[in-house]
């Protein structure tokens, strides 16, 4: 343990000297050191075990260090570490088959990328070339990645400093009953009015200028708002009416997270393109991609697709995907996510809401849950304003960590997003820690 501590201290010093961190003011952060992980747990630099209720950035769907995936990476490394994308490779071919067999409808071809943002970049590029149109629509409450087009698709405030006004993206309001833009009184009204708003926006922007609508099937970082019945089918209909490509971003919601292979499967809707990353191989090696419908693939049958990456379909990454998907199937991990959600996490979080008045709403499915913390239940005033944190939220997050729980937090929300492999006992352990921590949130309510 002492050797590990020394190693951790050296890593920390080198990090502070040389590593430039994402999304951060470099001198304002004290990053946690993690040197080991297994299953649903990680160990910090001091050797403390923590329950990973974040799945890191909601990507370790199969848990940490799954032995079958680790072995597959090792085997592939011994066999063939890298090969350029123009050559056929068995790991890539098999990963594409396993993915295409799980995507809905005729999404039978896969273009591999290095992660989620570039998957969205390529999906938009395909849609623009397929339609000959430029504009793209996406939700304000969304996150689609950190690269140029993806960050402009993104609605959350991380877009603002990256928006030079020429992205071609137009944002709209999606359905979100708890903070409805549409003054709806029930889910049906929310669906109808959100669809009417989208339809009107298209008519005002010019239907013939719009290449694609990009939607997270269930928005993740933006708050895990499960679309109400009829909404996704309505978006499909609108896309068909105007010849717009429907891109479902399943980067966070895909590969078991919601208790189905893809979140869009809950709605019986087939999009034209699905973007994925994260859970496809749990991020053991960077991988993302676009699953492509026959119609859009046909656009590039006799005309070159103008895009590519040195590491498209990298053997280590796709071998990890093959092992991940097979293990998820063999060990019924998607079914586990569904069961934990409906039997433990959902009821457990709703139970917390009964005891803690700081919880404004609990929502989610599978192992994909958000609790929305409010200073006042009646006004729904969030415990941190949109786009920022607050001393109260910082205290809540610090208390989670001190209590042995690694949370995923965004603005006024704490998300419960453990691996899809989480056991009943681990889910209960996380709920118990949250129960204690939420006393702090309760104490910060307006008096
Ligand atoms: N899309 C969604 C829905 C995401 O949640 C993310 C990452 O959190 C991305 C895209 C971007 O993926 P990456 O960070 O792999 O580029």
* Strands 368-376 and 359-365, bridge-based pairing: antiparallel
Band of pLDDT at residue 372, cut at 50, 70 and 90: very high
Query: Which residues have CB under 8 Å from 125's CB, separation 6+?
Result: 306, 307
State percent of the chain over pLDDT 70.
100
The alpha carbon of 250 and the centre of ligand 1 are apart by a number of angstroms equal to 9
pLDDT, tens digit (0-9, with 9 covering 90-100), for 274-304 = 999 999 999 999 999 999 999 999 999 999 9
Give the total number of structural domains in the chain.
2
Give yes or no for residue 220 CB within 6 A of ligand 1: yes
Give yes or no for residue 139 CB within 6 A of ligand 1: no
Give yes or no for residue 288 CB within 6 A of ligand 1: yes
Asked which of 302, 330, 358 is the last residue of a domain, the reply is 330
pLDDT, tens digit (0-9, with 9 covering 90-100), for 232-255 = 999 999 999 999 999 999 999 999
The alpha carbon of 55 and the centre of ligand 1 are apart by a number of angstroms equal to 14
Asked which of 330, 364, 398 is the last residue of a domain, the reply is 330
Q: Are residues 205 and 93 in the same domain?
A: yes
Distance (Å, whole) CA 367 – CA 370: 10
Q: Are residues 145 and 225 in the same domain?
A: yes
Predicted confidence (pLDDT) at residue 50 exceeds the cutoff of 70: yes
Please measure the distance between the N-terminal and C-terminal CA atoms of the chain and give it in whole angstroms.
46
Q: What is the pTM of this model?
A: 0.98
Q: Are residues 318 and 394 in the same domain?
A: no
pLDDT, tens digit (0-9, with 9 covering 90-100), for 62-94 = 999 999 999 999 999 999 999 999 999 999 999
Atom of ligand 1 lying closest to residue 216 CA: 3
Q: Whose CA is nearest to atom 11 of ligand 1?
A: 145
Q: Whose CA is nearest to atom 9 of ligand 1?
A: 145
- Domain for residue 22, yes or no? no
The alpha carbon of 6 and the centre of ligand 1 are apart by a number of angstroms equal to 34
Return the pLDDT at 1: 66
- Domain for residue 394, yes or no? yes
- Domain for residue 434, yes or no? yes
The domain of 169 spans 68-330
Give yes or no for residue 123 CB within 6 A of ligand 1: no
Give yes or no for residue 156 CB within 6 A of ligand 1: no
Q: What is the CATH number of the domain that holds 98?
A: 3.40.640.10
Give yes or no for residue 289 CB within 6 A of ligand 1: no
Q: Whose CA is nearest to atom 5 of ligand 1?
A: 252
The alpha carbon of 22 and the centre of ligand 1 are apart by a number of angstroms equal to 13
Distance (Å, whole) CA 169 – CA 134: 9
The alpha carbon of 401 and the centre of ligand 1 are apart by a number of angstroms equal to 24
Return the pLDDT at 219: 98
The alpha carbon of 143 and the centre of ligand 1 are apart by a number of angstroms equal to 7
- Spatial CA neighbour of 338 closest among 224, 421, 269: 421
Q: Are residues 389 and 266 in the same domain?
A: no
- Domain for residue 1, yes or no? no
Predicted confidence (pLDDT) at residue 440 exceeds the cutoff of 80: yes
Give yes or no for residue 216 CB within 6 A of ligand 1: yes
**Structure-token pair, residue 188:** 């049906």
* Strands 408-410 and 359-365, bridge-based pairing: unpaired
Give yes or no for residue 221 CB within 6 A of ligand 1: yes
- Domain for residue 269, yes or no? yes
Q: Are residues 115 and 258 in the same domain?
A: yes
Q: What is the CATH number of the domain that holds 47?
A: 3.90.1150.10
Ligand 1 pocket test, candidate residues 23, 60, 139, 145, most atoms within 8 A of CB: 145
* Average pLDDT of the chain, as a whole number: 97
pLDDT, tens digit (0-9, with 9 covering 90-100), for 130-164 = 999 999 999 999 999 999 999 999 999 999 999 99
Q: Are residues 105 and 251 in the same domain?
A: yes
The alpha carbon of 384 and the centre of ligand 1 are apart by a number of angstroms equal to 23
Q: Are residues 340 and 242 in the same domain?
A: no
Q: Are residues 295 and 378 in the same domain?
A: no
Ligand 1 pocket test, candidate residues 117, 263, 311, 415, most atoms within 8 A of CB: 117
Q: Are residues 321 and 430 in the same domain?
A: no
Q: Are residues 413 and 436 in the same domain?
A: yes
Return the pLDDT at 2: 81
Q: Are residues 377 and 403 in the same domain?
A: yes
* Strands 41-44 and 413-416, bridge-based pairing: unpaired
Distance (Å, whole) CA 436 – CA 301: 58
Q: Whose CA is nearest to atom 10 of ligand 1?
A: 144
Cα angle 402, 431, 399 (rounded to 5 degrees) comes to 20
Atom of ligand 1 lying closest to residue 146 CA: 16
Band of pLDDT at residue 46, cut at 50, 70 and 90: confident
The alpha carbon of 447 and the centre of ligand 1 are apart by a number of angstroms equal to 38
Asked which of 330, 359, 383 is the last residue of a domain, the reply is 330
- Domain for residue 17, yes or no? no
Q: Are 405 and 372 in contact (CB under 8 A)?
A: no
| Longest pairwise C-alpha distance within the chain | 67
Q: Are residues 355 and 425 in the same domain?
A: yes
Return the pLDDT at 30: 95
- Domain for residue 215, yes or no? yes
Q: Whose CA is nearest to atom 13 of ligand 1?
A: 116
- Domain for residue 8, yes or no? no
Return the pLDDT at 447: 78
């Amino acid at each position: 343990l002492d050797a590990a501590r020394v190693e951790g201290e050296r890593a920390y010093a080198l990090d502070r000297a040389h590593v430039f961190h994402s999304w951060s003011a470099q001198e304002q952060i004290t990053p946690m050191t993690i040197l080991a992980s297994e299953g649903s747990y990680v160990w910090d630099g001091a050797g403390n075990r923590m329950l990973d209720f974040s799945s890191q950035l909601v990507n370790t769907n199969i848990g940490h260090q799954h032995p079958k995936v680790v072995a597959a990476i090792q085997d592939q490394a011994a066999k063939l570490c890298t090969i350029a994308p123009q050559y056929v490779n068995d790991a890539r071919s098999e990963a594409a088959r396993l993915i295409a067999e799980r995507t809905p409808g005729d999404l039978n071809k896969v273009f591999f990328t290095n992660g989620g943002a570039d998957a969205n970049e390529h999906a938009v590029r395909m849609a623009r070339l397929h339609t000959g149109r430029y504009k793209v629509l996406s939700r304000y409450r969304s996150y689609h990645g950190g690269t140029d087009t993806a960050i402009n698709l993104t609605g959350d405030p991380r877009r603002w400093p990256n928006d030079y006004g020429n992205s071609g993206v137009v944002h709209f309001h999606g359905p979100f009953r708890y903070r409805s833009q549409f003054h709806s009184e029930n889910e049906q009204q929310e669906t109808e009015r959100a669809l009417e708003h989208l339809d009107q926006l298209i008519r005002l922007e010019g239907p013939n200028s719009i290449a694609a609508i990009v939607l997270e099937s269930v928005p993740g970082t933006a708050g895990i708002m499960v679309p109400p019945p009829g909404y996704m089918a309505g978006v499909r209909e609108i896309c068909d009416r105007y010849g717009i490509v429907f891109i479902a971003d399943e980067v966070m919601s895909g590969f078991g997270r919601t208790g189905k292979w893809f979140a869009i499967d809950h709605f019986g809707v087939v999009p034209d393109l699905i973007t994925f990353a994260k859970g496809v191989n749990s991020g053991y090696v960077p991988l993302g991609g676009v699953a492509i419908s026959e119609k859009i693939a046909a656009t590039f049958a006799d005309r070159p697709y103008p895009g590519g990456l040195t590491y498209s379909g990298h053997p280590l990454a796709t071998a990890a995907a093959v092992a991940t998907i097979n293990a998820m199937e063999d060990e019924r991990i998607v079914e586990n996510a569904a069961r934990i959600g409906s039997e433990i996490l959902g009821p457990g979080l709703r139970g917390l809401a009964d005891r803690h008045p700081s919880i404004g709403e609990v929502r989610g499915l599978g192992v994909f849950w958000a609790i929305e913390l409010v200073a006042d239940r009646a006004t729904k005033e969030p415990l941190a304003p949109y786009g920022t944190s607050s001393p109260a939220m910082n205290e809540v997050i610090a208390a989670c960590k001190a209590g042995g729980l690694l949370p995923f937090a965004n603005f006024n929300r704490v998300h419960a997003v453990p691996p899809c492999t989480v056991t009943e006992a681990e889910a209960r352990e996380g709920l118990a820690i949250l129960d204690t921590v939420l006393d702090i949130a309760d104490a910060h309510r307006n008096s």
